[in-house]
Amino acid sequence: MSGDHHDDALISRRVRRLETLLEEKGVLSGGALDEVIDAFLSGASPANGARVVARAWTDPAFRSRLLADGTAAVRELGFMDGSYQRLRVVENTETLHNVIVCTLCSCYPLRLLGPSPSWYKSESYRSRVVREPRAVLAEFGLGLPADTEISVWDSSAETRYMVLPRRPAGTESLDETELAALVTRNALIGTAAV
CATH architecture of 44-189: Alpha-Beta Complex (3.90)
Which amino acid is residue 165, in one-letter code? P
Tell me the C-alpha distance between 99 and 130, whole Å: 9
- Residue 82 has a pLDDT of 61
The mean predicted confidence, pLDDT, of the chain is 88
Please tell me the predicted confidence (pLDDT) of residue 83: 65
Q: Cα dist. 48→37, 112, 117, 148, 180 in Å?
A: 18, 5, 16, 28, 9
- Do residues 119 and 186 make contact, with C-beta atoms less than 8 angstroms apart? no
Query: Which stretches of the chain drop beneath a pLDDT of 50?
Result: 2-5
pLDDT, residue 4, reads 47
Task: Please tell me the predicted confidence (pLDDT) of residue 24.
Answer: 84
pLDDT value at residue 134: 98
Residues annotated as part of the active site: 102, 105-107
**Nearest-angstrom CA–CA distance, 57 and 176:** 8
pLDDT score, position 2:
44
**Residue 109: what pLDDT?**
87
Task: Please check whether residue 168 is in contact with residue 151, taking contact to mean a CB–CB distance below 8 angstroms.
Answer: no
CA atoms within a 13 Å half-sphere pointing along the CA-CB vector of 156: 4
d(CA 194, CA 191): 10
Question: In terms of DSSP bridges, do strands 96-101 and 149-154 run parallel, antiparallel, or are they unpaired?
Answer: parallel
Distances (CA, A) of 2 to 41, 124, 126: 23, 9, 13
Q: Where are the domains of the chain?
A: 1-42, 44-189
